Structures are given as C-alpha cells and as structure tokens.
Amino acid sequence: MNSKFLDDVTHVKSSSKTLPERVADQIRQLIIDRHMENGDQLPNEFELAQQLNVSRGSVREAVKLLVARNVLELRRGKGTFIADNTGVVDDPFGFAYLEDEPRLANELMDIRRQLEPWIAAKAAEQANDQDIAELRVLQYKVEELIQSGQDHLAADQQLHIRIADCTDNRVLRELVPVITYSVHLFGNLTQRRLRQETIDTHAAVVDAIAAHDPEAAREAMQEHLKHNRLSLTGASE
C-alpha cells in the first residue's frame, strides 16, 4: 500500500469525539506523515505517548479502536503494525455463510440504494477540505488501478468507507460492512466489468461532495448504483 492512499484518516470536529478517538486520528495522521506502508511497525506505546503528548492509557485505547477498524494489527511479542487491506473489516455480519450469492448481491444492493444516496448527500453537507482531498486521492487511486488493469476493489471499498466517514455518524460506521462486502461481492460476480462507468460515476459523486451539493451527490450516487444494478442483472442472466 502507498501510504498517501490510506483511507482511514479522519479530520472532524474534535468536540464530537472522545479522547481515544482523537488520539486514533493523531496516529492515523502520523502514519500518513511518515509515508508508512502495510506491514510497517509503529513506535511502541511509550514512544507514541511521548510523540503525541498523551498518556500511555490513551494510546492503548486508541490502538484498540484502530485494531477494531483493521487499520492496525497486534502481533504477539513483536508489536503493532499497519494492517493489510487497511480499514476494511472482514464480514462481521457473516454474509459469506449465506447461500445463493447472486441473491445476496441483489439484496445488498437493495440496501445500498436506500442508504448510500443519503450518505453521499450527508457527506456533501459535512465534508471539510481534508475530507475532500482524501476522497480525491482515493478516487484517483481507483481510476489508476482500473486503467492499469489491476484489481481496484480494495481501493473502491476504501472510497465508499471514506465517503461514509464524512458523515461523522457513529451508527453508520457499524453499517459500513454492508457496503464494503457488497462492493467485493459485486466485483467478483460481474468480473469487474464496470470500468469506465465506475470511473465516471465515482468522479461525479466526489465532485458533488466537493461542491457541497447534497442533491447532486445524492443523484450521482443513485446513478452509480443504477449502473451496478444493471451490470449485476446482466451477470445473473
């Protein structure tokens, strides 16, 4: 992973966050500032506490949050490392154990079509300059991977996670796996056929969020999901 594409870096109003959440944000910023990669080791708890000017207990709680979000991983006897597939939590709802993948993909899409246009609209209302800059980085990363013929699904998931993060909605953070698992399953079932459509509709969504235009963001996300649903239908036929 190129650290400049790390998605799980959030700059939100500090008053809305607990101390461990704010320290978690500082750790994520440190990862970006130092251009750290997947598998790189973080400084130990004592060093982080000194560098961030917080207590070791706050660092410990922040690390727990980042481990739960798959940003960091603990390796027994070795230390704390940047996780692979950063920020994507694997299937907490057990979707992989449901039979009939095409049906599951359509059911997940039904939920996404209700949820994600609202997320995009809310992101357009809430996003600050740093949020928008990070969305651009992820948008371009997906485009770069598609155009070079590489697998873009992980970066695609990260973009959708980052859009959701812009809402600063704590409940929504628990529902994000519905989106990320759907992106993964959709890509596999359709064999990643939606390439130019993905580039164009992602750009439209991010443009609308950057313009702080909730209705345009809602419509752009609806268009993105419309293309996904049509491709999914074609794949099942």
Q: What is the pLDDT of residues 76-97, one digit of tens each?
A: 889 999 987 666 566 778 888 8
Taking CA 140 as the corner, what is the angle to CA 146 and CA 197, rounded to the nearest 5 degrees?
Answer: 50
Contacts 24+ apart (CB under 8 A), 188-196: 189/101, 189/102, 189/105, 189/232, 189/235, 189/236, 190/231, 190/232, 190/234, 190/235, 191/235, 192/151, 192/152, 192/153, 193/231, 193/235, 194/227, 194/228, 194/231, 195/146
Least reliable range by pLDDT among 4-13, 198-207, 228-237: 4-13
Residue 10 pLDDT exceeds 50: no
pLDDT of residue 32: 81
pLDDT of residue 8: 40
Considering the entire predicted model, what is its pTM? 0.66
List pLDDT tens digits, range 45-71: 999 999 999 999 999 999 998 888 778
What is the mean pLDDT of the segment spanning 112-119? Answer: 97
What is the mean pLDDT of the segment spanning 34-53? Answer: 92
pLDDT of residue 85: 63
pLDDT of residue 16: 57
pLDDT of residue 86: 66
User: And the tokens for 8?
Assistant: 């799980």
List pLDDT tens digits, range 136-189: 999 999 999 999 998 898 889 989 999 999 999 988 878 888 998 899 898 888
